[in-house]
Structure 1
Amino acid sequence: MIIVTGANGQLGRMVAERLLKRVPAGEIGVSVREVEAARDLEAQGIRVRRGDFDDPETLPHAFECASQVLIVSTGTTGEAAVRGHRAAIDAAAAAGAKRILYTSHMGANPSSPFHPMPDHAATEEALRRSGVPFTSLRNGFYASSALELVRASLETGVLAVPEDGPVAWTAHADLADAAVLALTGEVLDGLSPALTGPEVIDMAGIAKILTRVTGRPIRRVVVSDGDYRAQLVTHGAPESAADLLVGLFAASRRGDFAPVDPTLADLLGRPTVCLEDYLKSAVTPPR
């Protein structure tokens, strides 16, 4: 049985739904914190069980009969995230999984100023030490994150964020397809190459894209890290969230999210989604 964790989230849900097209429903299980939110998957024949990384005692039941487990990284950061990932790895190994897969990031690095990246690096080390064959899917930066970073500019016409660097923005749908191929085929063992979209684009480039797709001028303005953080906190963001976003820009300035790799497109056998197409579909109303 293939077990997918986090199937109530965007990536995990996409993976579970795509698996239904490749393997029988009875060979798919999902581990979720809120079972009720996954009843639609259960109605399609997928096994749904509660599994919470923060409550490791739930994981043996959630991972029962696992041949493979896809661990979708949590939305937390720091020691809590790494502890939860380690609990999932240990539970997958104890369940007898022949391979453990993990949704990591192209920027995984213990010295990164972007808080999730050291967590990914620590989790990859836990995978190495598990003794179980593993695949760490080093996903490109989600294109949906770009949309969140620029959402306010759609109202103001000004994209005011810190100095940044180019980023290989990548669509969830492409990464979900890659995860399914990794779960159902002999591909992407160990640390994967960077699984990225087709090009790198910085904030100035995104402002130009938004200008084209909306027909409204969007002006890129560089602000200091301190001013950006203060503005976020003033508008109600928790200090931890503000620090996280400041770290994102600092990491992008280092080029941590810049390499483009052909692996994802080669694996899918088709072009990957470009950021302009993604943003166009997200910010322009359907006709």
Structure 2
Amino acid sequence: MIIVTGATGQLGRAVVQNLLRRFPADQIGASVRDADKASGLAAQGVDVRVGDFADANGLAKAFANADQVLIVSADKLGEEALRLHRSAIQAARRAGVRRVLYTSHMGARVGSPFPPADQHAGTEAELAESGLAYTALRHGFYAESCLQMIGDDLTSGELRTPEDGPTSWTARADLAEGDAAILVADRDWNGTTPPLTAATAITMAEIAVIASAVTGREVRHTIIPDDEWRDAKVAAGMPSFYVDMLLGMFRAARCGDFAATDPTLETLLGRPPRTMRDVLSAAIA
């Protein structure tokens, strides 16, 4: 039995759909907080179970009889995220799960200026200390996150950002497919995976060039000081904690934290991963 947490979220649901193409439905479980939202999965034969990272005892019941559990990282920041992940790891141990897989990040490192990368490193350390067999899935940076960051600027024709660095933006759908392939693989993936990324890493300046070609309208790229960018985002109504997180992303990119590329994801998919041009074209269409 393979249990996927967060199975009504964008990544978790996509992982389950990919598993259904490779694995018997009655051997796939979905751990969700609201079973009603997973009715579509239940109709496909998936074993829907109610589980909440905040309730380790209840989560252990949701993980019962599981050989593997995929812990999709919580959409939280800082100590709250670490606490929820810790609860899920403890629940897996209590349930006797053979292997835990966790959706980490290619830039995971202690002290990263990008807060999620620091907390991913913390959870990876807890997995290593848990005594469980584990796999940390080092996901490339979601290409969809890039679209959310730059959407308004593409419309205006000027992409205004702090200084950045090459980032291997990777489509969420490709990562979900790759995660499913690892879950059903003939071999175990022990420890941290290589970076699961698209084939190339590009800068914001290169994204502006791609956007110009895709839209048929010139999109200029302008580098502005960090503080100016932060003030503009806050003035536009973006919560300050979220702005600070995104600014940390640019600072980590300047350090090269997201520049790595690796062929592992392409091997898992059996085809080249989607490019940022593919993702932009699909979003605009």
TM-score by length of 2: 0.97
Separation in structure 2 between the aligned mates of residue 188 and residue 165 of structure 1, nearest angstrom: 30
Separation in structure 1 between the aligned mates of residue 41 and residue 122 of structure 2, nearest angstrom: 32
- Matched residue, 1:133: 133
1:8-66 residue CA offsets vs partner (Å, 9 max, x unmatched): 11110100111111111111111112221111001111111221112323202211111
Separation in structure 2 between the aligned mates of residue 199 and residue 23 of structure 1, nearest angstrom: 31
Residue 19 (1) aligns with residue 16 (2): no
- Matched residue, 2:195: 194
Separation in structure 2 between the aligned mates of residue 76 and residue 235 of structure 1, nearest angstrom: 23
Separation in structure 2 between the aligned mates of residue 192 and residue 155 of structure 1, nearest angstrom: 37
Shift of 1:146: 1.2
Q: How does 1:1-287 map to 2 (within 5 A)?
A: 1-185=1-185, 186-284=187-285
Q: Is the CA contact 2:68–2:101 (under 8 Å) kept in the aligned structure 1?
A: yes
- Residue aligned with 2:229, SS: helix
Shift of 1:246: 0.7
- Residue aligned with 1:151, SS: helix
Q: Structure 1 runs of 4+ off > 4 angstroms?
A: none
1:207-254 residue CA offsets vs partner (Å, 9 max, x unmatched): 001000000111111111111111111111111101101101000010
Structure 1, unpaired ranges of 5+:
none
State the superposition RMSD in angstroms. Answer: 1.0
Q: Is the CA contact 2:57–2:91 (under 8 Å) kept in the aligned structure 1?
A: no
- Residue aligned with 2:261, SS: coil
Separation in structure 2 between the aligned mates of residue 168 and residue 160 of structure 1, nearest angstrom: 20
- Residue aligned with 2:113, SS: coil
Separation in structure 2 between the aligned mates of residue 238 and residue 5 of structure 1, nearest angstrom: 28
Separation in structure 1 between the aligned mates of residue 154 and residue 164 of structure 2, nearest angstrom: 19
Separation in structure 1 between the aligned mates of residue 3 and residue 85 of structure 2, nearest angstrom: 15
Q: Is the CA contact 1:51–1:58 (under 8 Å) kept in the aligned structure 2?
A: yes
Q: Is the CA contact 2:162–2:226 (under 8 Å) kept in the aligned structure 1?
A: yes
Q: 2:178 is matched by which residue type in structure 1?
A: A
Q: Is the CA contact 2:56–2:90 (under 8 Å) kept in the aligned structure 1?
A: no
Structure 2, unpaired ranges of 5+:
none
Q: Is the CA contact 2:266–2:273 (under 8 Å) kept in the aligned structure 1?
A: yes
Q: 1:249 is matched by which residue type in structure 2?
A: F
Shift of 1:70: 0.1
Separation in structure 2 between the aligned mates of residue 154 and residue 234 of structure 1, nearest angstrom: 19
Separation in structure 2 between the aligned mates of residue 109 and residue 57 of structure 1, nearest angstrom: 30
Separation in structure 1 between the aligned mates of residue 123 and residue 24 of structure 2, nearest angstrom: 30
- Residue aligned with 1:270, SS: coil
Q: 2:248 is matched by which residue type in structure 1?
A: G
Q: 2:7 is matched by which residue type in structure 1?
A: A
Q: 2:284 is matched by which residue type in structure 1?
A: V
Shift of 1:187: 4.6
TM-score by length of 1: 0.96
Q: Is the CA contact 1:31–1:62 (under 8 Å) kept in the aligned structure 2?
A: yes
Indicate the larger mover: 258-267 or 78-87. 258-267
Separation in structure 2 between the aligned mates of residue 130 and residue 77 of structure 1, nearest angstrom: 22
Paired residues, number = 284
Q: Is the CA contact 1:181–1:187 (under 8 Å) kept in the aligned structure 2?
A: no
